[in-house]
Amino acid sequence: MAAPDRLGSQTAGAAGAMHLPGRHLQAFLEMLVAERNAAANTVEAYRRDLENFTGFLARRGTRPETADGEAISAYLAQMSRAGMAPRTTARHLSAIRQYYRFLVGDGVRVDDPSALIDSPRQGRPLPKLLTEHEVDRLLTAARSRKGADGTRLAALVEMLYATGLRASELIALPLAAVLRDTRVLMVRGKGGKERIVPLSEPARDALARYLERRAEFLPKNGRRKESIWLFPSYGGSGHLTRHRLAQLLKELAIEAKIYPSKVSPHILRHAFASHLLDHGADLRSVQQMLGHADISTTQIYTHVASERMKALVRDRHPLAAVGAGRSRARKPG
């Protein structure tokens, strides 16, 4: 579920602003925690989306317990008129569907009015990417940083680009993960699944230089206190946080003369996958290294490569300009 959107102020109105979670909605949110082990942010997103929906229904003089399919369609239509992206509308509809399944399962309703509502059509967005040249500039900027901070930053960037790890996977790597064999990493990913990811020679070199200075990042209580984490920190988690990692990359992007919005841990993960495929890696191997459960998730990078090849032919092929000239010549003056 995503961050707050503009819908709250446009659909709920005064009624929505004063509306408190009803007992059925509260029970649904409690179920998400108890049965699905949903994270606090996820529960909050469901609550927000469903309260927007409930506020909209209140303005029409009805409630989720009595609303029909027409009311749900009207809500989605209002989202569209408010300028919401199809992806946002689909997210709200997903929350509504799950809520109605809960109401039916709990005997509050005998029917599910959301069952026949079609999801908004949405194209799958292609991931943002960095070119190989831009990654080189990032790495050069990181290596030019002085002191222990620069050594750590170079190791972080090298490892992100060499492995395609998620930010959460990188920051939570235990020290033991690299002490056994620096040629590979044993990574614990989503759902506790483990996978082996090879480390490139530049990443191994950057990691070795960082390990020589790692002690400088250990928390101090009178003296340095050892940590189980590869990237220890003073925070409550004991290791570098995702927020701080993203912050460091934004700062580095500015130094490398790249728009900060183009650089994040996840975009480096995209670059890892896309550049591997560009250089002939097979899709199944990339899937395994990324830790994707379904190869269809990995296939998005083949679409990226296809779009890039189309752009290359369009912009660089010697006959492209000739073709464009012919097209212009055919247009009526």
Nearest of 147, 144, 139 to residue 275 by alpha carbon: 139
Tens of pLDDT, residue by residue over 210-265, are 999 999 998 776 566 788 999 998 878 889 999 999 999 999 999 999 999 889 99
| Mean pLDDT taken over the chain | 80
Q: Which pLDDT belongs to residue 90? A: 87
Q: Report whether 43 contacts 33 (CB < 8 A).
A: yes
Tens of pLDDT, residue by residue over 87-128, are 888 899 999 999 999 999 999 999 999 988 877 765 555 556
Please tell me which residue in 87, 190, 224, 314 is annotated as part of the active site. Answer: 190
Q: Which pLDDT belongs to residue 133? A: 92
Query: Is 269 a catalytic site residue?
Result: yes
Q: Which pLDDT belongs to residue 126? A: 53
Please tell me which residue in 269, 270, 275, 310 is annotated as part of the active site. Answer: 269
DSSP secondary structure letters along 161-177 = HHH---HHHHHT-BTHH
Q: Which pLDDT belongs to residue 287? A: 79
Query: Is 204 a catalytic site residue?
Result: no
Query: Is 166 a catalytic site residue?
Result: yes
How far apart CA 273 and CA 44 sit, in angstroms, is 32
Q: Report whether 162 contacts 200 (CB < 8 A).
A: yes
Please tell me which residue in 128, 188, 244, 266 is annotated as part of the active site. Answer: 266
Q: Which pLDDT belongs to residue 309? A: 46
Q: Which pLDDT belongs to residue 84? A: 84
More confident residue, 149 or 185: 149
Please tell me which residue in 166, 214, 270, 275 is annotated as part of the active site. Answer: 166
Angle between helices 40-59 and 86-105 (to 10 degrees): 90
More confident residue, 205 or 39: 205
Q: Which pLDDT belongs to residue 247? A: 95
More confident residue, 217 or 2: 217
Q: Which pLDDT belongs to residue 123? A: 55
Percent of the chain with pLDDT over 90: 42
- Residue 169 in this model has a pLDDT that exceeds 80: yes
- Residue 300 in this model has a pLDDT that exceeds 80: no
Contacts of 223 by beta carbon, 8 Å cutoff, 6+ apart: none
- Residue 182 in this model has a pLDDT that exceeds 90: no
